[in-house]
């Protein structure tokens, strides 16, 4: 069994998403007693239908990011309940407007349906995803169909809150189409960014934060600490990945 020191890189969840028997130590450098040493021993990949209840507002999109690449080998489906919009993680709108279109543009037969939304701390949102056996082409971000826009939502709040969020985002990103369909405030195209509200935070600040996040992402090199962590992780599984440049970054095996 391969042993991995989970404290390397950004010491985050990327380390616990491999697909061969592993024992991971010091995940997140052991942030609480008993949390730092998971053991993962997967069986053979097979087509299956999974129903998974996270039980908290834990991130549904992160579950889908781990499930989808494996599901594309044999096909299958998953229904996950948990958080669809969580701080410091991708929202479900990032998943449906950026992540899934990227995979589909490169040959993936997959679809994601949002059945219900939720935020921290309650959880309870539901998402269904399905996949068919697919061969994925070499990833080329230029192949992603551009779908720029702003999606603004509220949950159990007056509609004018979503309208104010969208107006503030539009002021930062003039010309982007706006959808007011009660979904997580979001700006997306080939890249995405989001901002989540909280009690006492004006709607205008939420909208501006999402738009400014996208503007920053569009000017960034696109090579994150998560990507570098995964490259190092892959080398432990005998898949050496060389990285050159930052804007754009070029990966080669």
Q: Which domains does the chain have, with CATH numbers?
A: 45-141 (3.65.10.20)
Q: What are the Cα distances from residue 230, in Å, to 8, 10, 16, 66, 124?
A: 10, 10, 10, 13, 30
- Per-residue pLDDT, 56: 85
- Per-residue pLDDT, 16: 52
- Per-residue pLDDT, 154: 82
Q: How many Cα atoms sit within 13 Å of 33 on the Cβ side?
A: 0
* Lookup: tokens for 96: 């449906």
Q: Which residues pair with 158 in a beta bridge?
A: none
- Per-residue pLDDT, 248: 67
Q: What is the pTM of this model?
A: 0.77
The whole-angstrom separation of Cα 162 and Cα 151 is: 9
Write out the chain's pLDDT in tens, 253 residues: 777 776 655 555 555 555 567 777 777 666 666 666 777 788 888 999 999 999 888 899 999 999 998 999 999 999 999 999 888 888 898 888 888 988 899 999 999 999 998 877 777 899 999 999 999 998 777 777 666 778 888 878 898 999 999 999 989 888 766 655 444 445 444 678 888 888 899 999 999 999 998 888 877 766 777 788 888 888 888 888 888 776 667 778 7
- Per-residue pLDDT, 140: 78
CB contact set of 164 (below 8 Å; sequence gap of 6+) = 202, 203, 204, 207
- Per-residue pLDDT, 80: 96
The whole-angstrom separation of Cα 253 and Cα 246 is: 17
- Per-residue pLDDT, 145: 67
């Amino acid at each position: 069994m391969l042993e991995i020191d989970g404290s390397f890189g950004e010491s985050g969840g990327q380390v616990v998403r491999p697909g061969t028997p592993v024992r991971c130590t010091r995940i997140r450098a052991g942030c609480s007693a008993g949390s730092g040493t998971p053991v993962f021993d997967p069986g053979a990949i097979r087509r299956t239908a999974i129903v998974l209840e996270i039980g908290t507002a834990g991130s549904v999109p992160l579950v889908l990011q781990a499930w989808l690449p494996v599901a594309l080998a044999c096909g299958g489906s998953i229904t996950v309940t948990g958080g669809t919009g969580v701080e410091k993680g991708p929202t479900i709108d990032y998943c449906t407007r950026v992540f899934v279109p990227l995979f589909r543009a490169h040959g993936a037969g997959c679809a994601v349906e949002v059945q219900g939304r939720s935020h921290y701390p309650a959880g309870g949102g539901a998402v269904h995803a399905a996949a068919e056996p697919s061969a994925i082409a070499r990833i080329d971000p230029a192949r992603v169909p551009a779908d720029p826009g702003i999606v603004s939502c509220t949950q159990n709040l007056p509609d004018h809150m979503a309208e104010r969020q969208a107006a503030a985002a539009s002021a930062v990103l003039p010309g982007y189409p706006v959808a007011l369909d009660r979904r997580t405030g979001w700006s997306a195209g080939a890249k995405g960014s989001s901002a989540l509200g909280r009690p006492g935070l004006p709607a205008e600040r939420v909208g501006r934060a999402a738009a400014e996040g996208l503007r920053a992402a569009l000017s960034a090199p696109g090579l994150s600490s998560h990507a570098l962590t995964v490259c190092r992780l892959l080398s432990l599984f005998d898949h050496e990945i060389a990285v050159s440049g930052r804007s754009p970054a070029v990966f080669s095996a």
